[in-house]
Amino acid sequence: MSATKTIAVPEKPALEGLELKWQARWEADGTYRFDRTRSRADIYSIDTPPPTVSGSLHVGHVFSYTHTDVIARFQRMRGKAVFYPMGWDDNGLPTERRVQNFYGVRCDPSLPYDPAFHPPEKPAKDPISISRPNFIELCERLTKEDEKAFERLWRYLGLSVDWSMTYATIDKRAQRISQIGFLHSLERGIAYQLEAPTLWDVDFRTAVAQAELEDRERDAAYHRLRFDRPGSGAVEIETTRPELLPACVALVAHPADDRYKPLFGHYVLTPLFRAKVPVLAHELADPEKGSGIAMICTFGDITDVTWWRELSLPVRAIIQPNGTLKPITWGQQGWESEDSAAAQRSYDELAGQSVTKARARIVEMLREDGSLIGEPRPIKHNVKFFEKGDRPLEIVTSRQWFIKTMEFRSALVERGRQLKWHPEYMRTRYENWVNGLNGDWCISRQRFFGVPFPVWYRLDKDGQRDYSQPIVPDEARLPIDPSTDVPDGFTAAQRDKPCGFGGDVDVMDTWATSSLTPQISARWREDDDLFPRVFPMDLRPQAHDIIRTWLFSTVLRSHFEHDSLPWMHTAISGFVTDPDRKKMSKSKGNAVTPFALLEEHGSDGVRYWAAGGRPGADTVFDPGQMRVGRRLAIKLLNASKFVLAKPEPVGRITEVADRGMLTRLAEVVKAATESFAEYDYTPALERSESFFWFFCDDYLELIKARRYGDHGAAGAASANSALLLALDAMLRLFAPFLPFVTEEVWSWWKDGSVHRAEWPAAGELLEPIGGEDRRAAEALLEGCRVLGEVRKKKSEEKKPLRTPVVSAIIRAPRHNLDLLDLVWRDVAASGAFQAAPRMEESSTFEGVYELGEPETRA
């Protein structure tokens, strides 16, 4: 504990300005600096979520980052050296999109770098095309500014981050570690490259991963189409995507479906295009759906991919990366038709069109042709979208990098079971996700602002790339950019020349970097002293929406790379919801600017509201709770002022009320410590808070007169000593939640920071009174009960509280009367009893109080 210094209490304590005052002091004093000389057992390390800097922070961030900070502060006070870095997620699509809009530019990788380029003051109407290096410069420039704004907010909120340890997911270290991680995966055979049907966003023109999908309900329609059977009759199928008819390669029905059994192995002709396609059997076909027989196209959805693979079908791909239908010459290899000329005529109407336009056109043609049976039947159904995208995903065949996940699913579930989840039930989300994986993790993106794949390919004499044996750099060279760096043994002049080399043009999925945040912040393969001190880490805090992405991928990478979990605990925050239970978000227009909130309610007030959200629980945005928190902080100022106003004399704690109060506080300390240790910070706050209000409203009122010396020096000394002990402990109990006000009060009478002080222990409160005093605690409550009765009486008679009680009869069981006797002098003083009451033994509780006239004051 810090030494007591000269007490200096401000005349009018206030919350205003505490945020700026104390964040500056903490920075100057290095209060939250990580001590890297400590051993692993004495360190508590946190894998802080790097917020996406290309958006603004919203109240949800304030909420969940407060949870982490509360835990960090508790661990620090328990004597741990807390490793609490901050990262910025500036890598990836959100930044690209923001840069495009902010500066009015588009990246065109075919353009050369222009060193003289400056973006216009205001974005032009039509986007300016700029080179990839110019584009990346703008990304870096804008994210730097965003990061500054974020840091300002975090400091104002009071996050006890060590600001000397920041990282960004696009910085050199993150690039290097991402590339090392990738090369290790390549060596281990975990990473592989494949040309295959891939989920594809036609607006961003990139592959995306399963984890980045979301379902959205869209209007669609069933179109019933007739496929002729050469020679005899026809088959009718239903489809929501008639524009994919030219890509149809087969029909499929369930093997047990008697309606279609006779057709299996036979051929039918597609309408308009007259392509001969087989009728096949597969168990995924659902007899209940549509007509019970479906057309397989390459590719309309993931089921098509499964059928195509399992039934060994050919490819007839028509969707181009930009989402339009590609030109086809009918009659050639792979595009056979019974009537190529007619097929060509029909298809020419569609080629070059977007999916939507092609659909409208083909429906007209099918109607004219007579192949459309009846009219389309409108339905609503769920369609897969890239979570950041605006148009439904397509499936496009392309060459991508993958990380194996499918064959490790059971090992990954097992890792999830080793991890301690807070709350426990969030583990189910993880297991659902792992068990539901339907393909390996696609980690390559056809974008610009990301970590490049550190590989090159040899070109043969025709200039064709040899993907079978990528050229990789030594680890010492990393990070590299294969589009500008040259592999060993080649010269720059050989780039993209026959018999020369070419660089991989893709960048990594942002999660391929984010999945390594523990390694990045712990400086893996760079600082061999630091890494083992903090890794595997203690805590991963995050929100539940990214269990399937960030949490999963981090567990995966650590499993392969270190054969361990990346951390022991994960604390999952809920969302902030608006009063209608909807998630608050910018896109829904209901988000609130966090800085304004902090200024209005004070950071401590906002933190108080946030700390009321238990791990995992969605929490309603509630300014009312922020006001309650602010009130609590103000109360702390004033109660502390009272305690510190006259802290003399001190001495032995002999009075029953004082001993009872300390006994009760010790219980609170024990309970708070236990729940905090289980990452359940909310009850710790609740218990502390309710004790504090009891302390102010009842205990202080009870002992006030004695404390002023009305009953002699010994009584005053007992009160003062108990008050000081209690205040000291309460400030520390509140310090993780209300860092500003507790530090302010601490500074009035102690050296050093409350945030470096030791977490309170029950013993420090009980030792001065010779151990727990249960009887005193009960007596204190008994005194409060009588005091409450007197207050009620005065309130009912609408008289001031200082109105004297001229006579009283108190009826209660013997036991209670004895207890009351122990604290009677304090009760009499605070209740303004003018005479001793008549105590009557009774099995029930009753108090009869006769009030006098309040003294008129001069």
Partner RNA sequence: GGGCGGUUAGCUCAGCGGUAGAGCACCGGCUUUACACGCCGGCUGUCACAGGUUCGAUCCCUGUACCGCCCACCA
Residue 429 lies near RNA (rule: CB under 7 A) = yes
* Nearest 10 degrees: Cα torsion 338, 340, 345, 346: 40
Q: Which of 95, 210, 346, 371 binds RNA (CB under 7 A)?
A: 210
- What is the x/- site pattern for RNA, positions 259-298, by CB under 7 A? -------------------------xxxxxxxxxxxx---
Q: Which of 415, 422, 548, 601 binds RNA (CB under 7 A)?
A: 548
Tell me whether residue 192 or residue 708 sits nearer to RNA (CB atom).
Answer: 708
Q: How far is the CB of 657 from RNA (least distance, A)?
A: 15
Q: How far is the CB of 576 from RNA (least distance, A)?
A: 10
Residue 494 lies near RNA (rule: CB under 7 A) = no
Tell me whether residue 596 or residue 645 sits nearer to RNA (CB atom).
Answer: 645
Stretch that binds RNA, among 446-454, 556-564, 624-632, 716-724 (CB under 7 A): 624-632
Tell me whether residue 427 or residue 659 sits nearer to RNA (CB atom).
Answer: 427
Residues numbered 636 to 675 that lie near RNA (CB under 7 A) are 638-639, 641-642, 645
Tell me whether residue 255 or residue 788 sits nearer to RNA (CB atom).
Answer: 788
Q: How far is the CB of 830 from RNA (least distance, A)?
A: 9
Q: Which of 95, 179, 240, 400 binds RNA (CB under 7 A)?
A: 240
- Give one DSSP letter per residue of 50-97, joined into a string: --BTTS---HHHHHHHHHHHHHHHHHHHTT-EEE--EEEB--SHHHHH
Tell me whether residue 172 or residue 582 sits nearer to RNA (CB atom).
Answer: 582
Q: How far is the CB of 240 from RNA (least distance, A)?
A: 4
Residue 309 lies near RNA (rule: CB under 7 A) = no
Residue 301 lies near RNA (rule: CB under 7 A) = yes
Q: Which of 91, 131, 239, 590 binds RNA (CB under 7 A)?
A: 239
Task: List C-alpha distances in Å: 416 to 184, 424, 427, 571, 677.
Answer: 23, 11, 7, 13, 21
Q: Which of 428, 464, 593, 834 binds RNA (CB under 7 A)?
A: 428
* Matching residue, tokens 């979301």: 214
Locate 671 and state its tokens.
Answer: 């309970």
Q: How far is the CB of 626 from RNA (least distance, A)?
A: 11
Tell me whether residue 138 or residue 305 sits nearer to RNA (CB atom).
Answer: 305
* Matching residue, tokens 């509780």: 845
* C-alpha–C-alpha distance, residues 185 and 164, integer Å: 31
Locate 47 and state its tokens.
Answer: 């894998």
Look up residue 606 and give its DSSP letter: H
Strand pairing of 619-620 and 576-577? parallel
Task: List C-alpha distances in Å: 806 to 821, 825, 828, 832, 838.
Answer: 18, 16, 11, 9, 12
Residue 785 lies near RNA (rule: CB under 7 A) = no
Residues numbered 12 to 51 that lie near RNA (CB under 7 A) are 14-15
Our CA angle for 261, 262, 264, nearest 5°, is: 65
List 89's β-bridge partners, or say none.
Answer: 52
* C-alpha–C-alpha distance, residues 134 and 105, integer Å: 10
| Contact (CB, 8 A) for 735 and 704 | no
Residue 618 lies near RNA (rule: CB under 7 A) = yes
Look up residue 676 and give its DSSP letter: H
Look up residue 125 and give its DSSP letter: S
3-state secondary structure of 628: helix
Stretch that binds RNA, among 104-112, 403-411, 525-533, 799-807 (CB under 7 A): 799-807
Exposed, middle or buried by CB within 10 Å (0-12, 13-18, 19+), for 126?
Answer: exposed
Residues numbered 460 to 489 that lie near RNA (CB under 7 A) are none
Q: How far is the CB of 285 from RNA (least distance, A)?
A: 4
Q: How far is the CB of 546 from RNA (least distance, A)?
A: 9
Residues numbered 550 to 579 that lie near RNA (CB under 7 A) are 579
3-state secondary structure of 685: helix
Q: How far is the CB of 638 from RNA (least distance, A)?
A: 4
Q: Which of 252, 363, 472, 812 binds RNA (CB under 7 A)?
A: 252
Q: Which of 306, 340, 353, 354 binds RNA (CB under 7 A)?
A: 306
Exposed, middle or buried by CB within 10 Å (0-12, 13-18, 19+), for 338?
Answer: middle
| Contact (CB, 8 A) for 708 and 685 | no
Cis peptide before 813 (omega within 30 of 0): no
Residue 799 lies near RNA (rule: CB under 7 A) = yes
Tell me whether residue 424 or residue 496 sits nearer to RNA (CB atom).
Answer: 424
Stretch that binds RNA, among 156-164, 332-340, 368-376, 543-551 (CB under 7 A): 543-551
Look up residue 391 and give its DSSP letter: S
User: In angstroms, what is the C-alpha Rg of the chain?
Assistant: 36
Tell me whether residue 473 or residue 715 sits nearer to RNA (CB atom).
Answer: 715
Q: How far is the CB of 548 from RNA (least distance, A)?
A: 5
Locate 367 and state its tokens.
Answer: 């109607």
**Size, binding site for RNA by CB under 7 A:** 93
Q: Which of 4, 382, 418, 484 binds RNA (CB under 7 A)?
A: 382
Q: How far is the CB of 56 from RNA (least distance, A)?
A: 21
List 297's β-bridge partners, or say none.
Answer: 248
Q: How far is the CB of 639 from RNA (least distance, A)?
A: 4
Residue 634 lies near RNA (rule: CB under 7 A) = yes
Tell me whether residue 147 or residue 655 sits nearer to RNA (CB atom).
Answer: 655
* C-alpha–C-alpha distance, residues 307 and 304, integer Å: 5
Residues numbered 679 to 738 that lie near RNA (CB under 7 A) are 683, 686, 690, 693, 696-698, 700-701, 704, 708
Nearest alpha carbon to residue 325 among 349, 301, 305, 294:
349
3-state secondary structure of 176: helix
Q: How far is the CB of 855 from RNA (least distance, A)?
A: 9
Tell me whether residue 15 or residue 665 sits nearer to RNA (CB atom).
Answer: 15
* C-alpha–C-alpha distance, residues 192 and 575, integer Å: 36
List 217's β-bridge partners, or say none.
Answer: 382
| Contact (CB, 8 A) for 248 and 278 | no
Q: How far is the CB of 314 from RNA (least distance, A)?
A: 18
* C-alpha–C-alpha distance, residues 154 and 610, integer Å: 14
Residue 788 lies near RNA (rule: CB under 7 A) = yes
Residue 400 lies near RNA (rule: CB under 7 A) = no
Q: How far is the CB of 572 from RNA (least distance, A)?
A: 11
Q: How far is the CB of 61 from RNA (least distance, A)?
A: 18
Residues numbered 153 to 172 that lie near RNA (CB under 7 A) are none
Look up residue 484 and give its DSSP letter: T
